[in-house]
């Protein structure tokens, strides 16, 4: 059984769609194995997105991810990593397929509602980044 990390980003939390997004996962065969609402600080957000440190949008990305609380989740199920990526839709909501989370709940490429791990290796690292073994049940 695969596990992946999902983050409901500050824009979606502010909009009050935590439940609607969680429902997309549960309705599509992904079990929520861990879940918590947290406020990221600059250091933590920067460390989480360290792979993007050299990208021109890194500063904005960290600023956005610290602009309000986020909900971090471990999703579990068959092909959880790629299934979550499919449910999320394209990074830019304007290019996201109809019916995807980003098409339905996101405004822009920065405020794009959700994060999802993009490989099994990253998923394992990202889950460890936010959760202890005891918290994933
Ligand atoms: P995420 O990693 O958040 O799940 P993703 O894998 O679809 O999204 P990445 O390429 O990993 O996209 O980029 C990480 C995040 O950085 C994006 O979700 C988006 O918020 C932001 N981002 C990506 N490209 C741009 C860009 N050109 N301009 C502004 N922000 C961007
Ligand atoms: Mg990514």
Shortest-distance ligand to the CA of residue 88: 1
Average pLDDT over residues 67-84: 99
User: What DSSP state is assigned to residue 136?
Assistant: -
Phi-psi region of 20 (alpha: psi -120 to 50; beta: other; left: phi over 0): alpha
Instruction: pLDDT band for 55, please (50, 70, 90 cuts).
Output: very high
pTM as predicted: 0.98
What residues have their beta carbon closer than 5 A to ion ligand 2?
118
pLDDT reported for residue 88: 98
Answer yes or no: is the C-beta of 112 below 6 A from any ligand 1 atom: yes
Q: Is the CB of 92 under 6 A from ligand 1?
A: no
DSSP state of 111: S
* Tokens coding 38: 């947290």
80/62 Cα distance (integer angstroms): 26
């Amino acid at each position: 059984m695969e596990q992946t990390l999902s983050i409901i980003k500050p824009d979606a939390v502010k909009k009050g769609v935590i439940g609607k997004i969680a429902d997309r996962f549960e309705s599509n065969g992904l079990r929520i194995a861990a879940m918590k609402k947290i406020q990221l600080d600059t250091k933590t957000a920067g460390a989480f997105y360290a792979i993007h440190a050299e990208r021109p949008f890194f500063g904005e990305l960290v600023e956005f991810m610290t602009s309000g609380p986020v909900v971090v989740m471990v999703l579990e199920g068959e092909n959880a990593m790629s299934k979550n990526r499919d449910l999320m839709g394209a990074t830019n909501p304007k290019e996201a397929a109809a019916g995807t989370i980003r098409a339905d709940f996101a405004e822009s490429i920065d405020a794009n509602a959700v994060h999802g791990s993009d490989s099994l290796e990253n998923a394992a690292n990202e889950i460890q980044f936010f959760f202890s073994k005891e918290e994933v049940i």
